[in-house]
């Protein structure tokens, strides 16, 4: 009788396991070596690695990160109180709010002008800032005790103008005598955006500075005072004397 041997069902599995073990061994060894190096690196160079990691996850040194225990958060931008659009004064006070205790630097036309310290309430003031003739652009920056610099405040522009506005009276003519009509029209011209009053009554000024005003004469002598005032507060005044003789 022929004998049949039973097939070795588990021999292939054993070979497979043996092969897998040979492959896994170097991987586990490599992982252990890597973890050992990481542990040694953290022990030896922990701070530097932490900083490098922060730089990696925050491109360009993003603000608001504490770098190795150092305050890296900049103060908020200062706020300047509203300034006049124009003035005829050679100096003015500039005040505002910023982070308490910070150093405040004021810039005028792009150049550093003055410095001060913000008080405990977060207020600051430059009591007498000299103006340059014409346009003056102001902004401020705050620097905290760690040396962090804020963004600039919103810029404000002040025009220093000490010249009075031009004022021309086209009609009537000073010293004129009127016989026919009681009502007349005062015509003239001044600079753009100036305010004109006729005997303290404001009249409309056109885009080019032209103006007209109705005026009712009284019998005899009439004194008419015309005043032009610009944004800076400069004034020009002219007086007309008109006689009404019906």
The residues, any chain, with a CB within 8 Å of residue 124's CB and separated by 6 or more, are 78, 95, 96, 97, 98, 104, 116, 117, 118
- Cα gap 104→126, rounded to integer Å: 10
Residue 199 domain boundaries: 167-244
Q: Domain containing 240 — which CATH number?
A: 2.60.40.10
| 155-182 per-position pLDDT tens digit | 999 999 999 999 999 999 999 999 988 9
Whether residue 10 lies inside any domain: the answer is: no
Which of 142, 160, 178 terminates a domain? The answer is: 160
Answer yes or no: do 154 and 83 share one domain. Answer: yes
Residue 1 inside a domain? The answer is no
Residues 153, 102 share a domain: yes
Q: Identify the domain boundary among 72, 88, 111.
A: 72
Position 40 in a domain: yes
Q: Do 171 and 154 belong to one domain?
A: no
| 161 in Cβ contact with 155 (< 8 Å) | no
Is residue 3 domain-resident? no
| C-beta separation of 88 from 161 below 8 A | yes
Which pLDDT band holds residue 39 (cuts at 50, 70, 90)?
Answer: low
- Count of domains for the chain: 3
178 shares a domain with 152: no
How confident is the model over 41-68, as pLDDT tens digits?
Answer: 555 555 454 445 445 444 444 444 445 5
Is 125 among the domain residues? yes
Domain boundary among 137, 160, 183: 160
Looking up tokens 């958060």 gives 73
Question: What local confidence, expressed as pLDDT, does residue 149 receive?
Answer: 96
Q: Are residue 91 and residue 152 in the same domain, yes or no? A: yes
């Amino acid at each position: 009788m022929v004998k049949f041997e039973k097939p070795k069902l588990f021999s292939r599995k054993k070979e497979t396991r043996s092969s897998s073990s040979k492959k896994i061994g170097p991987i586990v060894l490599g992982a252990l070596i890597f973890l050992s190096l990481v542990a040694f690196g953290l022990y030896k160079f922990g701070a530097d690695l932490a900083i490098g990691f922060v730089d990696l996850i925050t491109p360009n040194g993003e603000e608001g990160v504490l770098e190795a225990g150092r305050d890296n958060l900049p103060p908020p931008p200062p706020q300047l109180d509203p300034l006049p659009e124009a003035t005829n004064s050679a100096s003015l006070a500039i005040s505002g709010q910023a982070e308490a205790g910070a150093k405040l630097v004021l810039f005028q036309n792009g150049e550093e002008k003055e410095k001060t310290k913000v008080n405990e309430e977060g207020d600051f003031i430059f009591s007498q800032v000299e103006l340059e003739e014409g346009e003056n652009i102001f902004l401020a920056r705050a620097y905290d005790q760690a040396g962090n610099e804020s963004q600039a405040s919103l810029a404000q522009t002040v025009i220093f103008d000490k010249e009075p506005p031009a004022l021309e009276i086209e009609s009537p003519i000073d010293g004129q005598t009127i016989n026919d009509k009681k009502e007349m029209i005062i015509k003239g011209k001044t600079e753009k955006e100036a305010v004109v009053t006729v005997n303290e009554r404001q009249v409309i000024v056109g885009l080019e500075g032209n103006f007209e005003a109705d005026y009712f004469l009284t019998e005899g002598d009439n004194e008419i005072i015309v005043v032009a005032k610009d944004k800076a507060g400069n004034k020009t005044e002219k007086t007309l004397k008109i006689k009404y003789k019906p």
